[in-house]
Structure 1
Amino acid sequence: MIKVGIVGGTGYTGVELLRLLAQHPQVQLVAITSRGEAGTAVSDMFPSLRRRLDLKFEDPASADLRSCDLVFFATPNGVAMTQAPALLDAGVRVIDLAADFRIKDVAEWERWYGMSHASPDWVEKAVYGLPEHDRSGISKARLVANPGCYPTAVQLGFMPLVEAGVVDLGQLIADTKSGVSGAGRKAEIPTLFAEASDNFKAYAVPGHRHLPEIQQGLSTMAAQPVGLTFVPHLTPMIRGIHATLYARIKNDADFQRLFEERYRGEAFVDVLPPGSHPDTRSVRAANLCRIALHRPQQGKVLVVLAVIDNLVKGAAGQAVQNMNIMFGRPETEGLWQLAVLP
């Protein structure tokens, strides 16, 4: 059994981790922390976990996290970089679901996240946890930086194209939409029901903090710099991401076959038949990315549609997938939940 702890389990990614780990046949959940909720039963805060999880939130200062094999950080940005190093030094492996270790250029990270980095040495050692790209690195990692939700959808949608070098890498466009749970479990005016419901808007068009993460990943895949225009939108739904991706064709190819061969054998990427239009409901609560390709009017622009659940393949599910790889377990273990419909 893998002894697991969770730091910061009161947010949406935290409860999603709990939902998945409570069903995992090889996981023993031993601790979950929250300063504000210490002493509260997890099932009192999240009734969906009643009779499935018998744990109470503990103060992180007193929780015995060093006895764990692995600790997940489901915390706001800036927490893991201060707390994870002590666990890593004690031999505990760590998966951070926030952004503290994703961007290799520390100065760039500090510019986008507005704080000084407390553990730049661990940034260099961290492995970026996109399994479909670096399964080997993840298997040996002590610290995994779990990708963001938008970056997961955009990178999986573009990856076969940038790896093959068949599109113009200087003019990629990602037009993305996310449900309100992507903003986290906190009270903010833009995500109040009366603000987000019956509404649709773009945001952070001048620059979103996921942009450097996506560019870093795509540039690594392409082995050269990649130019990307990234525009996120907020949609009036709870969960789900829909990414409409545009790439100008440089070298003609059988693009459907390119995607099917690249993702053949990947349990959590589903390349749909030609002409398909994936919707977010088809991946709701599942650790899955569905992808479809279009070439409008047989022109020079390829359109890739990619959908994920932002809390599962875009966060907690991918983190469990990474855990399975790190501990030599079957990658799909504990992650075969079907999408929920309607």
Structure 2
Amino acid sequence: MRRMVIVGYEESALLDIACPADVLDAANRYGATPAYEVTLVSLDGRPIRCQNALTLAAQDRLDRLRGPVDTLIVAGGTGHARAAADVRLTTHVRRVAATARRVASVCTGTSVLAAAGLLNGRRATTHWMWAAKLARQYPEISIDPAPLFVQDGNVHTAAGVTSGLDLTLSFVEADHGPSLAREVARALVTYLQRPGNQAQVSMFLAAPPPEHRQVADLAAYITGHPGGDLSTRALAERAGLSERQLTRLFQEHAGVPPGRFVRRARTEAASQLLATTDLPLTAVARRCGFTSAETLRQAFVELCGTPPSAYRRLHRRACIA
């Protein structure tokens, strides 16, 4: 059997544990050979009180866990900062990871892998809300907040919460082939494995928090008017700021310059039209503020890793499935 170990801690996110576990369980029920043996562990074997106040029973102790381990998965959750600061926890994560075929994290579990030194010199992702902070804490790691999941060598990091489902489906496909992964996705009534380089968030979710009112207001305006004049000059005038001030504020509070935020917002708006209408690409581009279908295609490939026509086909197949 493939021994899959999920690491939880105080205030882990239940979905960060349940998504991988349920994918692997479904894979077993649909004939995974060799099958997956899933073990939930905490540092000292104590029950794991999740951030939603539900409590899970740990099946083993991380500090006494011995190999071989096929895949080590570290959950995220609101307790991730304390977990990352726990030297005993990160020491044993590093020890078990050294003998594992694969190492992974879900959501803010990335911070635990980072604290354990397992991401140094690697590209990784995490929940978009925490990406900028993690990048500041660990400049030796290349943090990409856009993808659903990232693989760098044998280390895999997934973005927010349910992206752990997509990551685990990719494990099933790598281990047993696309047919089984498809059956598992159908059984779980989910998308047929969203590609890892698909953007992890919709822009209306990714708008900066209202810590800086001007940036938050502009973000809301941008996402609500993708076809309008959203040049840096026009946005600066709307906010009563200089273009330099606007760029600095967006970089600080949104993590990207205003031009890139606009490009992402327009691409997200286009993805909604592609998924829900039969408008030709030229019409989609025009409505979303792109100068041409080719400009739309370039932005889509940059953000989603796939051209808009392929995105439309994938979305429709996923809905039918």
When the two structures are superposed, what TM-score results if normalisation uses the length of structure 1? 0.38
Structure with higher RCO (Cα < 8 A, 6+ apart):
1
Higher percent of residues as helix? 2
- TM-score (structure 2 length as normaliser): 0.40
Looking at secondary structure, tell me which structure has more strand per residue.
1
